[in-house]
Structure 1
Amino acid sequence: MVYGVGGNPSDKRKGKSFEERVQSWRERGYTAHFMTGIAWGEYQDYFTGEWDGKWHLDEGQVERGGDTIWHGRMVPYIVPTANYLKYIKEMHVKRVIDAGIDAIYMEEPEFWARAGYSEAFKREWQAYYGFPWRPQHESPENTYLSNKLKYQLYYNALKDVFTYAKEYGKSKGMDIRCYVPTHSLVNYSQWQIVSPEASLASLDVVDGYIAQVWTGTAREPNYFNGKEKERVFETAFLEYGSMESMTAPTGRKMFFLTDPIEDWPRDWVDYKNNYEATFTAQLLYPQIADYEVMPWPDRIYEGLYRVSKDSEEKAKIPRHYSTQMQVMINTLNHMPLSENTVSGSHGISVLMANSLMFQRFPTHDGYEDPQLANFYGQALPFLKRGVPVKTVHLENVSYKETLKDTRVLLMTYSNMKPMSAEGHRYLAQWVKKGGILVYSGRDEDPYQTVTEWWNSDGNTYQRPSDHLFEQLGIPAGAATGEYTYGKGTVHIFRNDPKEYVLKKGGDQQFIQVVKDLYERNSANSLIFKNQLYLERGPYDIAAVLDENDDAAAFTIDGPVIDLYDPALPVLARKVVQPGRQALLYNLSRVVTPSTPQVLASASRIYEEDITGNSYAFVCRSPLHTTNVMRVLLPTEPRQFAVVDPEGNPVSDVRTSWDASSHTYFLQFENHPDGMHVKLDW
């Protein structure tokens, strides 16, 4: 995936043009795609007037105090004006398609919630609303209007750019695919950024997404049981889940991003532990098997980071971590789709809406939602008890697949508002057929009274929930309690969900009521435990949760290969402690166990050749990294040979035979042009 027409600084120093960079990858056998930012990028020629003779720095996103929000030097976050989009199409998209690239990724359509004060934004406001701009800090309504416009601007921007890309490609006989790499709705809401998110799935010019979830997003602290802290695995699990559920009903393509480091400088131990957490979280979605791996490989292999938390010494990636990372990434080549499900009680979902992003900044009338606690207050009480809770997007409830597997739907309007009345009709139909809806909310936040569909154009509902309740045969402002509608049940709590997690033990009643509702008229209990486990082809994937009444370790019986250990040991059993995760190759589930094969490797395998008594292959991986592999063979080899790309025998090879698993371990230095391995028995 070649980034940016202008590239990054390391490319420029080498003097390579965009077309030369693309060709250099093609010569290595890669298919080249293109990615660039839609809200920021190396577009200095636009801002300084080189493109059209006019200065455009006034189109940056601006805070209340007049400061531009910068992504880099002379790289502001952008208000996507029509002129800017014309520049993107003419100077970037056209050139990329002319270079023969047929897949374009426009990443991170981001408008900061704290922005909205530039002259460019004021002009867009007047054009969209038909009345003069209003400062968002002056009222909740202004904030809501401002963020709705930010949302719409990037929706329109991507529609415009992708429409052009597809039409221009068609004129050249090419089928251009267009993707949006984007953070999750969970993360953008928590980081106070506005983006089109789920609405893009309705655009026929959007072919899919990359779920940009990694340590940097997943380590954002949240509250549970009265304590604010990082919960990287749990947050990643909810982030990936919100991305999967955003597109699952629409059938759009979804890639999961996985990144072994993050933007913020930390230490290598921190990166490794959190990479395992996010990597495990993504694998627990067995209906996704496409991934973006190793973004920014130069910073992974060449970046200098602290060797440990308490050390000031900086070094390049340790060999043990690069080896482990490459084992993990190459495992994804073989990660199958699976109909298996994560262990635990299924059917509890949390409702989300794009308007989660609209109420985050600034604070009005003293109403706080610390660290998105109204969302996590519904999800973490169950996830932390080993329930694989899902998310559901209000924008998708018209698709029959959306609520198909949901038994209990948790929702609130304390942190979001319905952008149309339509969703309520679908929710009411779902309840009428037997669904269970649990609504938590005091309905007192300052956004309840913004001018919106529920209180305008003939509607006079005081709160959006009043309209929902009317559809369900429940009186407006109904008190705490249980209500029946058709075959279904509605339970109302007059608490904002944040109250379940901001105080220790604050979720007890909430948990008990949901448990009782879940188990009513059903033979299935709502099981609480301290782990999530999935069998996916030959792989065992497990995460053991901490902050749980059950502090026991989780044991997986072998024999298994531990893929998070760069020594690739064969274990009779794997014991996973609370707060840790595991990815294992279960040797009892090898596909075609009579066939010699590489089961795990820190390289990619090519040109396999099997005879009656030999197995040969070529393995490729980056320079200055160590390859490890575990190879399944019918018997211990009597000899082996490792030959480098120039045909020279390699003598520095470590090997060992594990008779119990019939696997041979090899370790030697990698090479991108391919090391030739031959095993004879």
Structure 2
Amino acid sequence: MLKKYISTVVFSCCIGFPVQIPAQTVSEKDNDKQEKTAFQTASPWMPEIDIRSDVAIVYGVNGNPSDKGHRSAFEDRVRSWRKKGYDTHFMTGIAWGAYEDYFLGKWDGQSHFDEGQVEVSGDTIWHGHNVPYIVPQKSFINYIKEQVIERVIDAGITSVYLEEPEFWTRGGYSTAFKEEWKDFYGFDWKPQHESAENTWLSNKLKYHLYFKTIDEVSKYAKKYGRKKGLDVKVYIPTHSLVNYSSWMIVSPEASLASLPGIDGYIAQVWTGTSREATYFNGVVKERTFENAFLEYGSMVSMTAPTNRKIFFLTDPIEDRRKDWDDYKKNYEATFTAQLLYPRVNNYEVMPWPERIYTKPYKVAYTDREVLIPYKYSTQMQVMINALNDMPVSGNKVSGINSIGVLMGNSMMFQRLPTHEGFEDPRFSNFYGQTLPLLKRGIPVQTVHMENLGYKETLQNIKVLVMSYSNMKPHSEDVHENLEKWVKNGGMLIYTGRDDDPYQNVTEWWNGKKNRFDTPSGNLFKHLGIPEQAGEGRYKTGKGEVFVIRKNPKEFVMEHGGDENFVETVKHAFENDGQKLLFKNNLALQRGPYRIIAVMDESVNSEPYFADGPVVDLFNPLLPVLTEKTVVPGEQAFLYSLNYAYDKNKPAVVASAARISNEKLIGGEYSFTCKSPVNTMNSLRVFLPSKPEKVMLEDSGGTGISPIGASWDNNSRTYYLQFANKPEGIQVKFKL
């Protein structure tokens, strides 16, 4: 594919681009059996996208509806990746997909376009041509079971990913939805735009429909797998609760972790979600790193107490037309954010490698189309290959890790439409509780109210911030759990005016058993403070409750609006004599890797100085630095060479290719490098002493001359640069 656009590239003195060499086939498996890194693709194997992660997630029995170019048979695509040594999994959309045979009536003789999600205008919400977002009724669920699940398990697939169970909040007007409403509630459908009550009921139903769908399909997959003698696992690739709430989408989110048929999640966080502009200090702008940090955190909060496996996703590009420098900058921000969660070390390193490596992208505000630059692809491959070795760490991110913000699935229910003048611009009631802390160097922890029943959820939280301005509690259990935590010494900060129209929807706090005007009234009763508590500080058992009678959105939508909130957090935290220190950075050490983010709009504009010797993994030349300076608004990903010095054994420090077959026999250190064709390998290796000889050979044993080669005596590292090949380049050092 790439050769169609570029046949030769001139190499500069800094980083070289050689004449491309055709790929050859190889059938041996070069990765140990593990499922730590993965990518998803609708394509059959191609040498241009052979990125050597552990797992190739083959997408769609009919391919990707957005990509008409790769509609080869599903089984053929699976075989093509297995032949190249990959474990193969399967992913498909559960709210949309290349299901034209269903919608056009080829499956059961009936057209199903009337099952699409519909707006108040009567327009269907489309994902692509002949692909509506679906209202999942019984016939669609049966179709997924029979035409999708059975087929992929028959092909030997044992890991199934049901992607993006999404119902748009602006939907809810189709005949199919009205039928589901009557079945669920027992009374006729009511248009959601007419009242907050109707909106609440509508969004609860949307939530239920996909919860039920995932439950049924996951159970069926496991049952059908057992019939075939297979242990089938089911995962949910989903956007974060932060993003779905921001983008006005309803999805089951945290509730799925309680289902017996669900084994884990993929946290779909990338530039496209994280660059969503937010308010802070009265200014609206993109804050990609901070947003990504909160998105990944909400996914960790959702899954950690349930012990479900979670993969973190990043994407080197995005759908919106920008330019490669923009993609690179934002990719570094999201990549850094994911690494600041040290208990997660499973990654989907990219979706759709075919669009990254083989598709020229249109540059914003121009007619130019540009293929990914070699410098960026080299840097990207260094980053994703580091993920193959990224360890779990018991270290914590620098700063106070015991301040949390409560969140819940009902955040998705109040976003659209608006009622009685209630607005939450850019989801600011959430960001008002989080950004003022994160921007001051506090790695704020998000806490899912759905998980409060697990003792692990609050065991490391000292101060918890919450508000019912943008969400509501799903049951009184939430308040019972908070009561226990506060009375045992927790410091709770409640902020909100309790003036939004959703305070009065028909729910458990104002039903037969309870008679409270607002859910906070029930909470405060549990806490033993006045049900209409005014602004102030209240003692509750061994803990305390702080009440701020402002909606959190006011903290970020107004210049300087967060001062009282931050001061309250400080008082709550320092009640036992500890000091809450503010800074402009977050940093973490994970094995040899150092991850650093320095934020702008913070307490100061000082840079962060990281002592060396370190290798800069965001620089495709992999330079060795005696000190790395990170300025506000930037991030760093470094390899500490002291880690190699301590072991004093030959080791690959960084590579833009997957390393395998590593051997140290006698006086020779060798390994194999594999990565896509038409890309460049940049490689730095630690050696105890300068090698006598360096040899490179292709898979046929033919010698290769590197484009760049140098020994750095100060760091005791050898740098090599050469063209990648999927079938592998063997590197040998005679010591």
TM-score by length of 1: 0.98
RMSD (CA atoms): 1.2
Q: Which moved more, 1:545-554 or 1:608-617?
A: 608-617
**1:349 corresponds to 2:408:** no
**1:660 corresponds to 2:714:** yes
**What is the alpha-carbon distance in structure 1 between the residues aligned to residue 575 and residue 586 of structure 2?**
24
Residue of structure 2 aligned with 1:73, choices 129, 152, 156: 129
- Give 2:278's aligned residue: 222
Q: How does 1:640-655 map to 2 (within 5 A)?
A: 640-655=694-709
- Give 1:150's aligned residue: 206
Q: CA deviation at 1:17?
A: 1.2
- Give 1:299's aligned residue: 355
Q: Which moved more, 1:611-620 or 1:467-476?
A: 611-620
Question: Is the Cα contact below 8 Å between 1:561 and 1:587 reproduced in 2?
Answer: yes
**1:481 corresponds to 2:536:** yes
- Give 1:414's aligned residue: 469
Amino acid at match of 1:271: Y
- Give 1:161's aligned residue: 217
Q: CA deviation at 1:179?
A: 0.3
**What is the alpha-carbon distance in structure 2 between the residues aligned to residue 23 and residue 83 of structure 1?**
30
**What is the alpha-carbon distance in structure 2 between the residues aligned to residue 154 and residue 454 of structure 1?**
25
Question: Is the Cα contact below 8 Å between 2:65 and 2:98 reproduced in 1?
Answer: no
Q: CA deviation at 1:9?
A: 7.2
What fraction of aligned residue pairs are identical, expressed as a percent? 60
Q: CA deviation at 1:131?
A: 0.2
- Give 2:570's aligned residue: 515
**What is the alpha-carbon distance in structure 2 between the residues aligned to residue 85 and residue 546 of structure 1?**
48
Question: Is the Cα contact below 8 Å between 2:644 and 2:651 reproduced in 1?
Answer: no
- Give 2:339's aligned residue: 283
**What is the alpha-carbon distance in structure 2 between the residues aligned to residue 14 and residue 369 of structure 1?**
42
- Give 2:639's aligned residue: 585
- Give 1:101's aligned residue: 157
Deviation per residue, 1:3-29 (Å, 9 max, x gap) = 000113798756631111101000000
Residue of structure 1 aligned with 2:723, choices 663, 669, 674: 669
* Partner secondary structure for residue 465 of structure 2: strand
Question: Is the Cα contact below 8 Å between 1:624 and 1:670 reproduced in 2?
Answer: yes
Regions of 4+ moved over 4 Å? 9-15, 309-312
Q: CA deviation at 1:193?
A: 0.1
Deviation per residue, 1:244-276 (Å, 9 max, x gap) = 011111111111001111122211000000000
Cα 1:15/1:117, change in 2 over 3 Å: closer
Residue of structure 2 aligned with 1:499, choices 533, 549, 554: 554
**1:396 corresponds to 2:471:** no
* Larger RCO: 1 or 2 (CA < 8 Å, sep 6+): 2
Q: CA deviation at 1:528?
A: 0.2
Question: Is the Cα contact below 8 Å between 1:626 and 1:670 reproduced in 2?
Answer: yes
Question: Is the Cα contact below 8 Å between 1:245 and 1:392 reproduced in 2?
Answer: yes
Question: Is the Cα contact below 8 Å between 1:268 and 1:306 reproduced in 2?
Answer: no
- Give 2:117's aligned residue: 61
Residue of structure 2 aligned with 1:564, choices 607, 611, 618: 618
Deviation per residue, 1:203-244 (Å, 9 max, x gap) = 011000000000000000111000011000000000000000
Q: CA deviation at 1:652?
A: 4.1
Cα 1:13/1:356, change in 2 over 3 Å: closer
**What is the alpha-carbon distance in structure 2 between the residues aligned to residue 230 and residue 9 of structure 1?**
30
Deviation per residue, 1:407-446 (Å, 9 max, x gap) = 1100000000011111100000000000000000100001
Question: Is the Cα contact below 8 Å between 1:345 and 1:525 reproduced in 2?
Answer: no
* Partner secondary structure for residue 479 of structure 2: helix
Q: CA deviation at 1:393?
A: 0.5
Amino acid at match of 2:207: Y
**What is the alpha-carbon distance in structure 2 between the residues aligned to residue 313 and residue 4 of structure 1?**
31
- Give 1:637's aligned residue: 691
- Give 2:442's aligned residue: 387
Q: CA deviation at 1:310?
A: 6.3
* Partner secondary structure for residue 526 of structure 1: coil
Q: How does 1:175-324 map to 2 (within 5 A)?
A: 175-306=231-362, 312-324=367-379
**What is the alpha-carbon distance in structure 2 between the residues aligned to residue 203 and residue 36 of structure 1?**
19
**What is the alpha-carbon distance in structure 1 between the residues aligned to residue 447 and residue 307 of structure 2?**
15
Cα 1:633/1:107, change in 2 over 3 Å: same
Amino acid at match of 1:316: L
Q: CA deviation at 1:478?
A: 1.1
**What is the alpha-carbon distance in structure 1 between the residues aligned to residue 647 and residue 707 of structure 2?**
26
Q: How does 1:4-15 map to 2 (within 5 A)?
A: 4-8=60-64, 13=69
**What is the alpha-carbon distance in structure 1 between the residues aligned to residue 645 and residue 670 of structure 2?**
19
**What is the alpha-carbon distance in structure 2 between the residues aligned to residue 452 and residue 346 of structure 1?**
34
**What is the alpha-carbon distance in structure 1 between the residues aligned to residue 230 and residue 90 of structure 2?**
15
- Give 2:651's aligned residue: 597
- Give 1:52's aligned residue: 108
Deviation per residue, 1:468-525 (Å, 9 max, x gap) = 0000011111111111110000011110000111001000011111101101113x21
* Partner secondary structure for residue 351 of structure 2: coil
Deviation per residue, 1:35-87 (Å, 9 max, x gap) = 00000000000001000000100000000000000000000000000110000
Deviation per residue, 1:331-355 (Å, 9 max, x gap) = 0011100000000122110000100
The number of residue pairs the alignment matches comes to 679
**What is the alpha-carbon distance in structure 2 between the residues aligned to residue 7 and residue 52 of structure 1?**
21
Q: How does 1:416-455 map to 2 (within 5 A)?
A: 416-455=471-510
**1:40 corresponds to 2:92:** no
Deviation per residue, 1:96-119 (Å, 9 max, x gap) = 000000000001000000000000
TM-score by length of 2: 0.91
* Partner secondary structure for residue 303 of structure 1: coil
**What is the alpha-carbon distance in structure 2 between the residues aligned to residue 375 and residue 665 of structure 1?**
47
* Partner secondary structure for residue 334 of structure 1: coil
Deviation per residue, 1:263-295 (Å, 9 max, x gap) = 222110000000000000000000000000121
Q: Which moved more, 1:157-166 or 1:545-554?
A: 545-554
* Partner secondary structure for residue 294 of structure 1: strand
Question: Is the Cα contact below 8 Å between 1:246 and 1:396 reproduced in 2?
Answer: yes
- Give 2:185's aligned residue: 129
Amino acid at match of 1:624: N
**What is the alpha-carbon distance in structure 2 between the residues aligned to residue 85 and residue 554 of structure 1?**
53
Question: Is the Cα contact below 8 Å between 1:538 and 1:591 reproduced in 2?
Answer: no
Q: Which moved more, 1:5-14 or 1:665-674?
A: 5-14
Deviation per residue, 1:141-189 (Å, 9 max, x gap) = 0000000000000000000000000000001111000000000000000
* Partner secondary structure for residue 671 of structure 2: strand
**What is the alpha-carbon distance in structure 2 between the residues aligned to residue 441 and residue 609 of structure 1?**
61
* Partner secondary structure for residue 84 of structure 1: helix
**What is the alpha-carbon distance in structure 1 between the residues aligned to residue 82 and residue 202 of structure 2?**
44
**What is the alpha-carbon distance in structure 2 between the residues aligned to residue 305 and residue 292 of structure 1?**
22
**What is the alpha-carbon distance in structure 1 between the residues aligned to residue 550 and residue 71 of structure 2?**
61
Cα 1:649/1:519, change in 2 over 3 Å: same
Cα 1:9/1:143, change in 2 over 3 Å: closer
Cα 1:365/1:10, change in 2 over 3 Å: closer
Mark the runs of 5 or more structure 2 residues left unpaired by the alignment: 1-56
Mark the runs of 5 or more structure 1 residues left unpaired by the alignment: none
**1:490 corresponds to 2:541:** no
**1:628 corresponds to 2:682:** yes
Cα 1:306/1:52, change in 2 over 3 Å: closer
* Partner secondary structure for residue 456 of structure 2: coil
